[in-house]
């Protein structure tokens, strides 16, 4: 069979690598890549960011976050964690969630909140933090959980009748934890090729080639083009850790709406660490409104960044109107950073 | 998503009472070293290449399969 | 002055009275040496004939001491380097200190000693200065401002607008060591083998180039924002595309490793002892011969941008594909995705 073929790279890290290495210029002419929703910064709904801002603004709270989330606006444009820090909030940048445990133990008189974002790659580290916190009985640490699951989003896109996606490059680091069973299920249910892809330029090119070959032969299989890291079984211990602390939950994604099983929540035994429970209802920061951003269509592969009238003019990384312009991994920011327009 | 980097374990610190929850390693990434939890890779040992994300080792890397 | 090792800076040390005189005459002057204006607020200098370069810079850094340097060395070398980048031999510096109440005196002594050594390395004398003390919590240990005078030895003006299409772009050494030394200290990473900041005087290399007859079209030390910020500014000011060969950029594995761990762009890391040099093509062999022994390299070329497009910095990857250098945002926030 002949193309043109449309593939979606699901993971934002892959979007970033593709543009950073200029791989789109090296692809066969019959191939089009569209950027998927695999960027937790981009898909965290504005109301969760508003919640984070409200918590970080509480007197006495030390609010811990990865650098990625510090400049993500909530529902009010320009309102972010760095701005809050400039106005006096104690917002700290972490590179591993385990640092939050040390912060909490160093400041027993204060409440320490960790903004826990990320896919199934990051969630085990949060789960480990939860286990350690409970084992040590650290009473002043809590988690604002925003973890999301990637396969439900892929299912939504695959099931969308309007979708242009004919094959997926699956996120290799998620598969390193989860293994390939749920991807195989996706292939079986939707009859389209899925290739587990790494993040290096050569690995990505290999994965793209494998996916294209399947399409040309009319096949729909699961391929693993990241075998140096990913095994069919993933990391069972990480998965058990994850399952002992979290359970799947229906959560809203920015741009995609409520996704059945699209997120994680703390299991009952760990609910004591839930920042939503500990702090109860806080005054809302503002109304939830995504403005003119077409991120929902971009995240589903129905529109490209250049289709947006605000792209690069009203909406820039310094003044993002929507999530895909915030993160380096977001489809819009990556395009604006690396491409001439 | 998920910036993960492969490095090599240079030393291992067993946790209290051998509880894997606290087992950690120093991992070398080409001259820069970070303390990393081995809670999810209980059998990893010195010399193993591991994939690390947010301070947690997630997978053994098969160097023959191509370390990035 | 108090010789106790637990002694700290007190507000009185900036109050204009006995304590301040003891600080200046008991600590600063003996350590810093030639302080021409010790008994006066202004210094009178005899200067060589010719054109002068004059530069000023403030220094804030945490941690105050890091592998390969400290805020004191940075403050002396940094301003001397700004003069060297104008093609000027650095001669004299002023030194203004803002000290935070509670700053340990032994730390201040170490920093002053480091400044004195850096001044010797740069061939400059510290000729005037000022000291203020602010309440605890109002400053980050100490802030340093230095201003410097130098005499210009370059034959022509060194400006971005002198750049021409076809000019070669060279680096004086590998990138990012200073930034990595600071980042590692901040984020609990250990550099092994140890990697020190590249903080070093640049005038000796510039003087060598000038003595060999190299006429720099453009020179810039790669401090805040690193090579990325310098290239961005140069492209804008010259109106030219800057086309860089990515594989030619000199980067140590520990620098790329740290950036991979923290999700940062190595070209945005600060250097404190590296510069970008642009020369016309026929001067390239001479310049390269002088720079390459210290790790310098030819990394790219200036060229006219495509018609109708604004000038940009273009990186050619090892695959031959192209990307733009992403704009420097000014904040190095480690990320996880």
CATH code of A116's domain: 3.40.50.11740
Q: Inform me whether the C-beta atom of residue C232 falls under 8 Å from chain A C-beta atoms.
A: no
Span A21-77, pLDDT tens digits: 999 999 999 999 998 888 888 889 888 999 999 999 999 999 999 999 998 888 887
Domain enclosing residue A154, as ranges? 1-290
Identify from A20, A35, A323 which residue to disrupt to test chain C contact, counting C C-beta atoms within 10 A and taking the largest count: A20
Considering only the beta carbons, identify the residue of B39, B42, B65 that sits closest to A128. Answer: B39
Q: Which residues contact B22 (CB under 8 A, 6 or more apart)?
A: A132, B15, B16, B39
- CA nearest C246 in A: which residue? A21
Number of domains in chain B: 1
Span A103-133, pLDDT tens digits: 999 999 999 999 999 999 999 999 999 999 9
How far, CA to CA in Å, does C118 sit from each of C33, C158, C201, C202, C337?
Answer: 12, 25, 8, 12, 40
Q: Inform me whether the C-beta atom of residue A71 falls under 8 Å from chain C C-beta atoms.
A: yes
Nearest to B40 by CA among C323, A24, A120: A120
Structure confidence at residue C73 (pLDDT) = 97
Structure confidence at residue C290 (pLDDT) = 97
Same domain, A269 and A334: no
- The CA distance from A67 to A177, in Å, is 23
A:157-186 residues touching chain C, CB 8 A cutoff: none
Same domain, A171 and A185: yes
Structure confidence at residue A291 (pLDDT) = 62
Same domain, A259 and A322: no
Span A33-42, pLDDT tens digits: 998 888 888 8
CB pairs under 8 A between A and B: 107
Same domain, A159 and A221: yes
Instruction: Report chain C residues whose CB lies below 8 A from the CB of A25.
Output: 321-322
Backbone region of residue C167 per phi and psi (left: phi > 0; alpha: psi in -120 to 50; beta: other values): beta
What interhelical angle do A12-20 and A201-216 show, nearest 10? 100
Inspect the interface and report whether the beta carbons of C323 and A12 lie closer than 8 Å: no
What 3-state class would DSSP assign to C1?
A: coil
pLDDT bucket at A283, cuts 50 / 70 / 90: low
Same domain, A141 and A185: yes
Structure confidence at residue A282 (pLDDT) = 65
The counts of H helices and E strands in chain C are: 9, 14
Instruction: Report chain C residues whose CB lies below 8 A from the CB of A172.
Output: none
Inspect the interface and report whether the beta carbons of B4 and A238 lie closer than 8 Å: no
Q: Which helix (H) or strand (E) holds A133?
A: helix A123-136
Inspect the interface and report whether the beta carbons of B58 and A173 lie closer than 8 Å: yes
Inspect the interface and report whether the beta carbons of C254 and B5 lie closer than 8 Å: no
Higher pLDDT: C238 or A333? It is C238
Q: Is the pLDDT of residue B67 over 60?
A: no
Same domain, A147 and A198: yes
Contact status, residue B21 vs residue A135, Cβ threshold 8 Å: yes
C:25-84 residues touching chain A, CB 8 A cutoff: none
Q: Inform me whether the C-beta atom of residue A26 falls under 8 Å from chain C C-beta atoms.
A: yes
- As a whole number, the mean pLDDT across chain A is 91
Q: Is the pLDDT of residue A156 over 80?
A: yes
Same domain, A195 and A303: no
Q: Inform me whether the C-beta atom of residue A2 falls under 8 Å from chain C C-beta atoms.
A: no
For chain B, give the percent of residues with pLDDT over 90. Answer: 75
User: What are A11's strand-pairing partners?
Assistant: A38
Domain enclosing residue B18, as ranges? 5-65
Q: Inform me whether the C-beta atom of residue B35 falls under 8 Å from chain C C-beta atoms.
A: yes
List of chain C residues with pLDDT < 70 = 1-5, 34-39
Same domain, A16 and A65: yes
Same domain, A60 and A175: yes
Structure confidence at residue A307 (pLDDT) = 86
Structure confidence at residue A285 (pLDDT) = 42
Last residue of a domain, one of A275, A290, A305: A290
- As a whole number, the mean pLDDT across chain C is 93
Instruction: Report chain B residues whose CB lies below 8 A from the CB of A128.
Output: 21, 37, 39-40, 56
Q: Which residue has the tokens 């910020």?
A: C229
Domains, chain C, ranges and CATH? 11-152 (3.30.1330.10), 160-324 (3.90.650.10)
Q: Is the pLDDT of residue A300 over 80?
A: no
Q: Inform me whether the C-beta atom of residue A41 falls under 8 Å from chain C C-beta atoms.
A: yes
Q: Inform me whether the C-beta atom of residue A124 falls under 8 Å from chain B C-beta atoms.
A: yes
Same domain, A319 and A200: no
Inspect the interface and report whether the beta carbons of B3 and C189 lie closer than 8 Å: no
For chain A, give the percent of residues with pLDDT over 70. Answer: 97
CATH number of the domain where residue B10 is located: 2.30.30.140
- The Cβ of residue C41 has, within 10 Å, a number of other Cβ atoms equal to 8
Number of domains in chain A: 2
Q: Inform me whether the C-beta atom of residue C99 falls under 8 Å from chain A C-beta atoms.
A: no
Same domain, A221 and A306: no
Same domain, A213 and A334: no
């Amino acid at each position: 069979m002949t193309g043109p073929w449309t593939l979606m790279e699901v993971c934002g890290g892959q979007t970033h690598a593709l543009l950073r290495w200029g791989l789109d210029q090296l692809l066969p002419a019959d191939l089009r890549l569209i950027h998927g929703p695999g960027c937790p910064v981009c898909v965290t709904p504005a109301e969760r960011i508003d919640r984070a801002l409200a918590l970080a603004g509480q007197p006495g709270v030390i609010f811990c976050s990865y650098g990625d989330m510090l400049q993500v606006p909530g529902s009010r444009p320009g309102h972010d964690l760095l701005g809050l820090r400039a106005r006096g909030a104690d917002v700290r940048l972490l590179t591993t969630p385990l640092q939050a445990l040390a912060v909490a133990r160093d400041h027993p008189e204060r409440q320490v909140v960790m903004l826990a974002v990320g896919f199934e790659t990051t969630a085990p580290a949060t789960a480990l933090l939860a286990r350690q916190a409970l084992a040590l009985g650290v009473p002043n640490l809590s988690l604002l959980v925003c973890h999301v699951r990637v396969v439900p989003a892929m299912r939504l896109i695959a099931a969308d009748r309007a979708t242009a996606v004919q094959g997926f490059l699956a996120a290799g680091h998620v598969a390193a934890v989860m293994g390939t069973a749920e991807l195989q299920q996706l292939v079986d249910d939707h009859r389209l090729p899925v290739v587990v892809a790494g993040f290096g330029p050569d690995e990505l090119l290999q994965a793209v080639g494998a996916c294209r070959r399947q399409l040309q032969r009319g096949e729909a299989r699961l391929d693993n083009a990241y075998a140096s890291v990913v095994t069919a079984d993933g990391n069972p211990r990480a998965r058990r850790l994850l399952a002992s602390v979290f359970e799947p939950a229906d959560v809203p994604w920015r741009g995609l709406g409520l996704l059945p099983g699209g997120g994680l929540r703390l299991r009952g035994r760990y609910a004591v660490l839930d920042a939503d429970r500990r702090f109860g209802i806080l005054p809302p920061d503002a109304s939830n409104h995504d403005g003119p951003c077409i991120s929902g269509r971009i995240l589903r592969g129905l529109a490209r960044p250049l289709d947006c009238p605000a792209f690069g003019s009203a909406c820039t990384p310094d003044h993002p109107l929507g999530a895909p312009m915030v993160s380096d991994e977001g489809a819009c920011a990556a395009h604006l950073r690396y491409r001439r327009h | 998503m998920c910036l993960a980097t492969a490095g090599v374990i240079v030393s291992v610190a067993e946790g209290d009472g051998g509880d894997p929850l606290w087992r950690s390693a120093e991992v070398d990434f080409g001259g820069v070293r970070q303390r990393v939890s081995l809670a999810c890779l209980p059998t990893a040992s010195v010399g193993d290449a591991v994939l690390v994300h947010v301070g947690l080792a997630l997978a053994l890397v098969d160097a023959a399969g191509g370390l990035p | 002055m108090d010789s106790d090792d637990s002694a700290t800076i007190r507000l009185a040390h900036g109050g204009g009275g006995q304590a301040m005189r003891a600080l200046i005459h008991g600590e600063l002057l003996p350590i810093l040496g030639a302080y021409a204006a010790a008994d006066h607020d202004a210094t009178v200098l005899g200067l060589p004939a010719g054109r002068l370069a004059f530069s000023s810079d403030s220094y804030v850094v945490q941690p105050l001491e890091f592998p390969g340097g400290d805020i004191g060395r940075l403050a002396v070398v940094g301003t001397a380097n700004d003069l060297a980048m104008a093609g000027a031999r650095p001669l004299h510096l002023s030194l203004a200190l803002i000290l935070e109440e509670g700053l340990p005196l032994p730390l201040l002594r170490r920093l002053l000693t480091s400044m004195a050594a850096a001044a010797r390395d740069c061939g400059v004398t510290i000729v005037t200065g000022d000291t203020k003390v602010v309440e605890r919590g109002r400053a980050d240990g100490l802030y340093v401002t230095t201003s410097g005078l130098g005499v210009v030895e370059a034959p022509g003006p060194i400006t971005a607008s002198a750049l021409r299409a076809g000019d070669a772009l060279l680096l004086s050494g590998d990138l990012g060591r200073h930034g990595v030394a600071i980042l590692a200290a901040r984020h609990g990473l250990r550099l092994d083998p140890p990697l020190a900041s590249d903080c070093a005087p640049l005038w000796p290399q510039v003087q060598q180039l000038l003595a060999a007859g190299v006429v720099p079209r453009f020179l810039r030390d790669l401090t805040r924002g690193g090579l990325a910020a310098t290239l961005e500014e140069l492209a804008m000011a010259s109106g030219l595309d800057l086309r860089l060969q990515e594989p030619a950029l000199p980067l140590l594995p520990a620098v790329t490793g740290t950036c991979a761990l923290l999700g940062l762009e190595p070209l945005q890391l600060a250097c404190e002892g590296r510069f970008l040099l642009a020369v016309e093509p026929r001067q390239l062999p001479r310049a390269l011969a002088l720079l390459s022994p210290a790790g310098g390299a030819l990394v790219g070329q200036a060229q006219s941008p495509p018609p109708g497009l604004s000038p940009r910095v273009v990186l050619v990857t090892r695959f031959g594909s192209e990307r733009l250098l992403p704009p420097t945002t000014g904040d190095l926030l480690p990320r996880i995705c």
